[in-house]
Amino acid sequence: MKIGIIGANGYTGYELMRLLANHPRADVVYAGSRSMAGRKVPSLYPALSGVYDELRFESPNASVAAKKCDIVFTALPHGLSAEMGAELIKLGCKVIDLSADFRYDSIPLFEKTYEIAHPCPGLNEQKVYGLCELNRKKIVKSTKLVANPGCYPTASILALYPLLAEKVISPDGIIIDAKSGASGAGRKADEAFSYCESSSNFKAYAVTTHRHTSEIEEKLSAAALSPVALNFTPHLLPVKRGILATVYANLVPAAEKRIADVYKAFYEKEPFVKVNPEGEMPELKFVVGSNICRIGYKVDLRTKKVIIVSVIDNLIKGASGQAIQNMNIMYSLDERMGLPAVGNQL
Amino acid sequence: MKIGIIGANGYTGYELMRLLANHPRADVVYAGSRSMAGRKVPSLYPALSGVYDELRFESPNASVAAKKCDIVFTALPHGLSAEMGAELIKLGCKVIDLSADFRYDSIPLFEKTYEIAHPCPGLNEQKVYGLCELNRKKIVKSTKLVANPGCYPTASILALYPLLAEKVISPDGIIIDAKSGASGAGRKADEAFSYCESSSNFKAYAVTTHRHTSEIEEKLSAAALSPVALNFTPHLLPVKRGILATVYANLVPAAEKRIADVYKAFYEKEPFVKVNPEGEMPELKFVVGSNICRIGYKVDLRTKKVIIVSVIDNLIKGASGQAIQNMNIMYSLDERMGLPAVGNQL
Amino acid sequence: MKIGIIGANGYTGYELMRLLANHPRADVVYAGSRSMAGRKVPSLYPALSGVYDELRFESPNASVAAKKCDIVFTALPHGLSAEMGAELIKLGCKVIDLSADFRYDSIPLFEKTYEIAHPCPGLNEQKVYGLCELNRKKIVKSTKLVANPGCYPTASILALYPLLAEKVISPDGIIIDAKSGASGAGRKADEAFSYCESSSNFKAYAVTTHRHTSEIEEKLSAAALSPVALNFTPHLLPVKRGILATVYANLVPAAEKRIADVYKAFYEKEPFVKVNPEGEMPELKFVVGSNICRIGYKVDLRTKKVIIVSVIDNLIKGASGQAIQNMNIMYSLDERMGLPAVGNQL
Amino acid sequence: MKIGIIGANGYTGYELMRLLANHPRADVVYAGSRSMAGRKVPSLYPALSGVYDELRFESPNASVAAKKCDIVFTALPHGLSAEMGAELIKLGCKVIDLSADFRYDSIPLFEKTYEIAHPCPGLNEQKVYGLCELNRKKIVKSTKLVANPGCYPTASILALYPLLAEKVISPDGIIIDAKSGASGAGRKADEAFSYCESSSNFKAYAVTTHRHTSEIEEKLSAAALSPVALNFTPHLLPVKRGILATVYANLVPAAEKRIADVYKAFYEKEPFVKVNPEGEMPELKFVVGSNICRIGYKVDLRTKKVIIVSVIDNLIKGASGQAIQNMNIMYSLDERMGLPAVGNQL
């Protein structure tokens, strides 16, 4: 497969190139980036030298990309990404979009959250929301557009969806206290993300206002078959990679005994979602560097809650790895192809 | 004042020595440590050379300490700390105990939590729980024993006490999602706290079982005048110092408007507790290096909750700094004496 | 003393404000910053709230500053700093300049290194190079201008000056392999200094071309009474603060026995320079947070070299702390006033 | 191939398991560890769960290992490793030893350096020193024993060997100022390597006394055909992984023009050694996560030296990756098989 990446200079673009270097069936032939146009890829990312020595960033152009590529990963700012995606699809490309543009079923909810008019609501209806473990069957040969989920939503929805769908927990009172590494903010020159400002620090941000809240709520409402309004609080960890979400949910009476079975029914055969026995909480380092989501939980009968810990690598399962997983599904390849199944730990 | 520190080799002991080096009225004359007995203090802590060049650790002995000291900070493992404190008080010393031994009003709750019999329940009744801002008036010239609060309880109780006492929030459904730096675990050779295991990592631990839960609940139950059962989840941050607690509480209907006033009434004149205007969340680095607790909050009317962020330096306001603050109060000194009022930020 | 800081928004400006908050004789009354003009100081540096609540940044203006201040710390980019300093001195202020503008005795060497014409070469002759331990006696009541040394030069010159002056080491073949924390680059939005680019990384930079090379060489040539040409290689450490310089120098035959005595003669009575017994190498954490320079050394008779390790906090002894030390000397105060003498270690 | 690892609980053992999980021709069937015997591998290293779920550590036993394995990686403390290796070879296994036991050609030099008698000097003569790029041709089908080089020696020798062999630099006056991440010290409970002691810190250690000095000198003396005595100073970086060595060497007159060609002749076709154009210095993050050594250099005509920067991942090219590379060569496989060719960068 001939692969294009538009927005290739960002961290998700880098991660796509890095991971696809190990994919036996994929060949990155197009790297679109306005700001880096003309430069060789390794001049920005020296770790890629030796592998992408001849690849140059070029100014994003749908016609050029469509001619060269079977499938294009779009990773532009919201609004722009949908426009580029629409053009590419018209020109016959498949598109996996890593922006927020096609993540919502509800256009009004998207527009309220992102404060722009959706550039192509019609196209939005044809997308599949690419949370692979939930929507795998909807991604078929003829699928043209996959909306790759947000990083926080991936960790959060994988933890909560089964328990809501099976009525183990109440849709009310859910709290997601999430912590992410700095790469979640992307590649940019921003004083607030400088080493001196972020190292040895920790902070909550966007309290009650983070955009991923509505993405999570839309998907969980579908699971619960009733509206879910929850609290989502993101924090910035002094690490490069990884998301750990600590989730608090109210147990349906006596349902605590079904948790293990419900998770098992959903995830037992999944190569990239692993649920621990009760009480064994996964750590960030167990998944950083891999495409795996690990989930642990603990019941608190005193407060009638279950506390769930869900961890992913935000750039892999939370972005570029899941995008490749979606590509593999789309092309009926082994879903694991080119994707790391062992975290760094060390 | 002649000061003794027993358990001086640990991180709280170090921090006491470091801070007291700047205290104009205090002179550390006794450093008790079994494992380091005989060694000069700067041989373990070279940063203290030039200041404590002649001070040697000596094997802890109450009689020797009592002869040399007006006041002794005890920082031994629980159980041992109370025994040492009892001896010292008998010998006429004042004691500020940094262990958990005298933190509880309820002996059964202490014994259930720490799984030992309390060595001196009678003495426990004479202690003051040294959360300075709440109990300052109880600490008087004749006070012999102050129980220095735990680090997590300091951050948590300062955030919640006023709101519970003034019935702004419900005593039910409180969640404290707390994150601490690695120094909270103390000075020790433990693989799990090695640089390679902790750096670039993040994890929850002791989920539903951390001992500070009952300390927090006892003090907040007193504030609410009704039993508080809450969820407390500690996490280990890849930083040396600092605690950030993200607290979720259910608002009493229409009470959100009183939050600012309630905090103001409690803390306006406090030198070491600062409450931000709504929506301005403090970061860890604003307080690390200082004795200050900073509190921010945000109301979420959608979910009828208030989200509070409370930050302290776990070794200063959460341990040694607060202990010195208690000492200053005990001796009617300026409460701020020797205590840093500006965080490092950088 | 009424203190002004121009370039107050940068990290050295912040550090001056933070340290001066503990100085019993100094009062910061003027904070000049073009980019932050109009904003309150704590809005940029929340850790300073409670101490500088009423201080606002104002657009730098020499007349206004001179009216309010006895002494002004200038910390502007090179070229601009000299201009501002010249104006202030004309208006009767004392100036401690933290830029490179007045650090050189040789104007041509300055101009070659910084690639600008010196704005006020005449004034340059009146400055004292403020490496306190070497030039203390030259800083007197009538001194108007102190050029605060560079951070790398402070660590390097303190290590080498005595050994060169006393002919313990050869002026030839000196190598300074230096490593600095990220705050050395100052406060700025620069992708290369973002958390994701700097964390878990280490690199050499400006190899053979760093500007501090010529500053170090000029001062050491004066010590050796012969021209010193050396190799200086700076590296970027993934820490916020601190410089560790590993220095290699060729021993004059049989001179290794004099090292301890030579250092003793120079530094024995210094409050802020501490030399260890041979073989005991200081670590960065022993000095970070303090105004102290610690020096260790080891003789290698096999290769006829001495290896010296010199550590400082780049923002304190390497910048703002030394500036305050210079101020204290200028005003005949206790040199240690307001300056931290104990490193954080933890 | 059936693979055994003895000393499997350590970091190099972990890294072997992690890397071999991606090796298409290798199957880890034996994990020897005395301290962990009986435990499942993922109970110690949860990141390996899903891949090594059925593998248990077992108490090291040469007969059992030899029955199960074609080749065994031994990673025991020095002395013990040679004994185990000798037994395995007697039983018909191939051995790649990651300890220091077989790294030296000179038994007296080994014995002086490691202060033990060599347990099997005869076997030592049959080993190949597995610095792949220099000794590839000596590793053949019948090779039974490869001595995997030390981490610092790998980075240092790759940088210096060609220049010494081609007489570009003098064998006198070489200085290697090396910096390593904390994983170089291995997996252990040691206060000095705790997060609180190592984070935000930097230090030199074993100045003039590190054991790798003699390993480097022996190999470089062979390159120079004359004895090399150099200065090697290791430092501890606050990162998990990676070594950066800054090397200073005296140029042979006029030889600076040959540097590029000499490196090209040695490394142009190497998949895992990359030399940059002059002046482009590699950073640690470009190689961490990969089996690559990157080298940069800069000539300083002023001091007649060349400064070389050499970077590797200490656990991959500096240990487990190079061991696998040696295995691939031994079995005439593609040398790159199973080895990561792209650094993490991020």
Question: Looking at chain A, which subunits does it touch, using at least 3 CB pairs closer than 8 Å as the criterion?
Answer: B, C, D
Q: Answer yes or no: B151 catalytic.
A: yes
DSSP symbols for D282-334: --GGGTTTSS-EEEEEEEETTTTEEEEEEEE-TTIIIIIHHHHHHHHHHTT--
DSSP symbols for C69-119: -SEEEE---TTHHHHHHHHHHHTT-EEEE-SSTT--S-HHHHHHHH-S--S
> D37-43: which pairs have CB atoms within 8 A and are 24 or more residues apart?
D41/D8, D41/D17
Using the Cβ of D187 and the Cβ atoms of chain B, whether some distance falls under 8 Å is answered with yes
Report, in this order, helix, strand and coil percent for chain A, each rounded to 5: 35, 20, 45
Closest Cα in chain C, distance from residue D131 (Å): 24
Give the C-alpha separation, B39 to D201, whole Å.
24
Paired with D177 in beta bridges are D233, D246
> With contact defined as beta carbons under 8 Å apart, do D133 and D266 qualify?
yes
- C274: confidence class by pLDDT, cuts 50, 70, 90: very high
Give the C-alpha separation, A82 to A74, whole Å.
8
Give the C-alpha separation, A276 to A294, whole Å.
7
The structure tokens listed for A153 are: 């939503």
**Chain D hits for C182, Cβ within 8 Å:** none
pLDDT at position B13 is: 97
CB-CB under 8 Å, C11 with A196: yes
Among the listed residues D93, D151, D196, D293, the single catalytic one is D151
Reported in sequence order, the residue ranges of B148-301 that DSSP labels E, i.e. its strands, are 175-180, 203-204, 231-236, 243-250, 273-275, 293-300
CB-CB under 8 Å, D305 with C281: no
**Each residue's pLDDT tens digit, D148-187:** 999 999 999 999 999 999 999 999 999 999 999 999 999 8
**CA-CA-CA-CA torsion for A90, A95, A97, A102, nearest 10 degrees?**
50
Give residue A15's Cα distance to chain centre: 12
Closest Cα in chain A, distance from residue D344 (Å): 7
Q: How many CA atoms lie within 13 A of D303 on its CB side?
A: 28
Using the Cβ of C182 and the Cβ atoms of chain A, whether some distance falls under 8 Å is answered with yes
**Each residue's pLDDT tens digit, D45-71:** 999 999 999 999 999 999 999 999 999
Closest Cα in chain B, distance from residue D78 (Å): 22
Report, in this order, helix, strand and coil percent for chain C, each rounded to 5: 35, 20, 45
- C189: confidence class by pLDDT, cuts 50, 70, 90: confident
- D189: confidence class by pLDDT, cuts 50, 70, 90: confident
Residues D2-29 have a mean pLDDT of: 97
Q: How many CA atoms lie within 13 A of B232 on its CB side?
A: 22
Closest by CA position to A61, among listed A42, A98, A87: A87
Using the Cβ of D38 and the Cβ atoms of chain C, whether some distance falls under 8 Å is answered with no
CB-CB under 8 Å, A200 with C195: no
Q: Which residue has the tokens 């009638």?
A: A304
**C188 pLDDT higher than 90:** no
Residues C200-209 have a mean pLDDT of: 98
Give the C-alpha separation, C296 to B279, whole Å.
49
Give the C-alpha separation, B226 to B171, whole Å.
8
**Chain D hits for B189, Cβ within 8 Å:** 189-191, 194
Q: Which residue has the tokens 């004789």?
A: C25
**Phi, psi dihedral angles at B125 (to 5 degrees):** -70, -20
Reported in sequence order, the residue ranges of C192-271 that DSSP labels E, i.e. its strands, are 203-204, 231-236, 243-250
pLDDT at position D261 is: 98
| Strand arrangement of the beta sheet that strand C57-58 belongs to | C57-58, C27-32, C2-6, C71-74, C94-97, C145-147, C128-129
CA distance to B90, C54, C71, C317, D308, per residue, from C324 (Å): 48, 22, 11, 9, 39
CB-CB under 8 Å, A346 with D14: yes
CB-CB under 8 Å, B281 with A203: yes
Give the C-alpha separation, B130 to B134, whole Å.
8
Facing residue for C345 by CB, picked from B22, B45, B282: B45
Q: How many CB atoms lie within 10 A of CB D53?
A: 10
Using the Cβ of D346 and the Cβ atoms of chain A, whether some distance falls under 8 Å is answered with yes
Question: Looking at chain D, which subunits does it touch, using at least 3 CB pairs closer than 8 Å as the criterion?
Answer: A, B, C
**Chain C hits for A196, Cβ within 8 Å:** 11, 182-183, 187, 193, 240
- Residues of chain C above pLDDT 90, percent: 99
pLDDT at position B189 is: 84
Closest by CA position to D48, among listed D22, D82, D72, D69: D22
CA distance to A261, A300, B204, B269, C41, per residue, from A256 (Å): 10, 9, 20, 47, 52
CA distance to C290, C326, C327, D339, per residue, from C331 (Å): 21, 9, 6, 64
Q: How many CA atoms lie within 13 A of B230 on its CB side?
A: 35
The structure tokens listed for D86 are: 């000798």
Q: How many contacts does B have with C, using Cβ atoms within 8 A?
A: 84
pLDDT at position D188 is: 84
> With contact defined as beta carbons under 8 Å apart, do B98 and B75 qualify?
yes
Using the Cβ of C298 and the Cβ atoms of chain D, whether some distance falls under 8 Å is answered with yes
Closest Cα in chain C, distance from residue B271 (Å): 8
Facing residue for A50 by CB, picked from D46, D241, D274: D274
Using the Cβ of B24 and the Cβ atoms of chain C, whether some distance falls under 8 Å is answered with no
> With contact defined as beta carbons under 8 Å apart, do A126 and A313 qualify?
no
Pairing of strands D305-312, D293-300: antiparallel
Closest by CA position to D286, among listed D260, D315, D325, D312: D312
Among the listed residues C69, C93, C151, C293, the single catalytic one is C151
CB-CB under 8 Å, A346 with D241: yes
pLDDT at position B204 is: 98
Amino acid at C149: P
Closest Cα in chain C, distance from residue D68 (Å): 39
> With contact defined as beta carbons under 8 Å apart, do C24 and C337 qualify?
yes
CA distance to A178, C119, D188, D194, per residue, from D200 (Å): 25, 39, 20, 12
**Chain B hits for C343, Cβ within 8 Å:** 47
Mean pLDDT split into 10-residue runs, chain A, 346 residues = 97 98 97 97 96 97 98 97 98 98 98 97 97 97 97 98 98 98 92 95 98 98 98 98 98 97 98 98 98 98 98 98 98 97 96
Rg (CA), chain C: 20
> With contact defined as beta carbons under 8 Å apart, do B147 and B127 qualify?
yes
**Chain D hits for C283, Cβ within 8 Å:** 201-203
**Each residue's pLDDT tens digit, D252-302:** 999 999 999 999 999 999 999 999 999 999 999 999 999 999 999 999 999
Query: In chain D, which residue's Cα lies nearest the Cα of A285?
Result: D47
**Chain A hits for B203, Cβ within 8 Å:** 244, 281-284
Can you tell me whether residue B241 is helix, strand or coil?
coil
The mean pLDDT value of chain D amounts to 97
Closest Cα in chain B, distance from residue C145 (Å): 28
Using the Cβ of A175 and the Cβ atoms of chain B, whether some distance falls under 8 Å is answered with yes
Using the Cβ of D272 and the Cβ atoms of chain A, whether some distance falls under 8 Å is answered with no
**Chain D hits for A290, Cβ within 8 Å:** 47
Give the C-alpha separation, D96 to D88, whole Å.
11
Q: How many CB atoms lie within 10 A of CB A105?
A: 16
Reported in sequence order, the residue ranges of chain D that DSSP labels E, i.e. its strands, are 2-6, 27-32, 57-58, 71-74, 94-97, 128-129, 145-147, 175-180, 203-204, 231-236, 243-250, 273-275, 293-300, 305-312
Angle between helices B151-165 and B259-267 (to 10 degrees): 120
pLDDT at position A188 is: 84
Q: How many CB atoms lie within 10 A of CB C261?
A: 12
**Chain C hits for A200, Cβ within 8 Å:** 240
Give the C-alpha separation, B78 to B99, whole Å.
6
Report, in this order, helix, strand and coil percent for chain D, each rounded to 5: 35, 20, 45
Mean pLDDT split into 10-residue runs, chain B, 346 residues = 97 98 97 98 96 97 98 97 98 98 98 97 97 97 97 98 98 98 92 95 98 98 98 98 98 97 98 98 98 98 98 98 98 97 96
